């Protein structure tokens, strides 16, 4: 909660969400949203809802205040979704890490000119460099190469179109284009994480399943139930599904994510002496004309055998809004507090 509060205050954000989980088994180690109500005073409205206390809208804003954005709210994930595009292309064999691409700063898809965040272009680059640079034209190219049928096949295989089954109430569903209505432009924007919406818990769960060797896990807080009368303890079990991707794809993905942090756009999450992998994201919210952004970073550690996944999402930060600049350092601080104790 401290890191979420820090990001909220420093960036004067609308809200901040953080998820920390074990990607091997789905155990949720932490989940925080800020601003957050006091659970000891659940009927006391907090800012900015407190202005409606005592009015006929009070109940509506109490329900809004009680929402858990990590589970109940959807958002456009932006470039963190490039992890899914990468996994699909690696699994299908349509891209290799040394394949070359050219980025002039944009790419034409039908009559649309879709720009890269680096408007002057990245020039010639390998796929590995493309993910380090978070280059939109590279991911549009591999998304179009996959095509709608194969891309949607992996959406389903990876579990993106189903709810995660987290043991918390109010989980929202992924909002995705119907397959038959997806053309080249829609496919292009989906490939770099825009024009559709998912929940933070869905993104964290899907990426966990892709970096753990291909086992789709169920996120959960509950570990066991103790009978208050008999004292008997019942261990809880959760569904898992193996084979959503190959170990080879998972290993290559982990390598690429580590390069993003060591040499690419996620370098502000780097911690000397630790293997951290991750992906930055900066997505523009609707309506685009309002110029509001969501900055985020998803990280894993140790990259070679992940035991912790951290997702940081900052909604509508003021000033600098790039995920690699403002969300990655928050993740770094969380990793700094966790990693020294992992094996103790």
Active-site amino acid positions: 79
* Phi-psi category of residue 332: left, alpha or beta, with phi > 0 → left and psi -120 to 50 → alpha: alpha
The contacts of residue 10 (CB under 8 Å, 6+ apart) are none
Which residue, 13, 61, 11, is CA-closest to 35? 13
Residues β-bridged to residue 15: 315
CA trace torsion 271, 272, 275, 278 (10° rounding): 30
Q: How far apart are CA 141 and CA 293, in angstroms?
A: 24
Q: How far apart are CA 12 and CA 315, in angstroms?
A: 9
> Which residue is it, tokens 């509950």?
222
DSSP conformation class of 40: T
């Amino acid at each position: 909660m401290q890191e979420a509060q820090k990001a909220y205050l420093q960036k004067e954000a609308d809200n901040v969400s953080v998820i920390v989980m074990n990607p091997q088994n789905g155990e949720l180690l932490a989940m925080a949203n800020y601003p957050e109500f006091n659970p000891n005073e659940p009927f006391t409205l907090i800012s900015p809802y407190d202005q409606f206390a005592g009015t006929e809208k009070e109940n509506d804003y109490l329900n809004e205040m009680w929402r858990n954005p990590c589970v109940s709210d959807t958002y456009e994930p932006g470039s963190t979704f490039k992890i899914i595009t990468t996994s699909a292309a690696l699994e299908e064999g349509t891209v290799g890490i040394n394949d070359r691409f050219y980025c002039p700063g944009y790419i034409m898809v039908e009559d649309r000119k879709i720009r890269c965040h680096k408007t002057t272009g990245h020039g010639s680059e390998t796929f590995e460099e493309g993910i380090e640079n978070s280059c939109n034209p590279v991911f549009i190219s591999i998304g179009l190469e996959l095509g709608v049928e194969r891309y949607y096949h992996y959406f389903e295989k990876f579990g993106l179109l189903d709810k995660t089954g987290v043991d918390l109430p109010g989980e929202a569903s992924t909002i995705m284009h119907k397959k038959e209505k997806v053309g080249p432009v829609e496919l292009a924007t989906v490939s770099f994480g825009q024009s559709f919406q998912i929940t933070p818990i869905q993104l964290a769960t899907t990426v966990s399943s892709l970096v753990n060797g291909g086992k789709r896990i169920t996120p959960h807080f509950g570990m066991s139930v103790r009978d208050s009368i008999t004292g008997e303890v019942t261990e809880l079990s959760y569904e898992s599904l193996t084979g959503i991707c190959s170990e080879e794809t998972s290993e290559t993905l982990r390598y690429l994510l580590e390069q993003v942090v060591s040499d690419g756009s996620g370098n502000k999450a780097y911690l000397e002496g630790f293997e951290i992998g991750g992906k930055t994201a900066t997505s523009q919210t609707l309506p685009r004309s309002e110029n509001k952004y969501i900055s985020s970073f998803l990280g894993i550690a140790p990259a070679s055998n992940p035991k912790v996944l951290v997702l940081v999402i900052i909604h509508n930060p003021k000033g600098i809004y790039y995920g690699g600049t403002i969300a990655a350092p928050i993740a770094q601080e969380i990793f700094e507090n966790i990693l020294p104790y992992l094996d103790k």
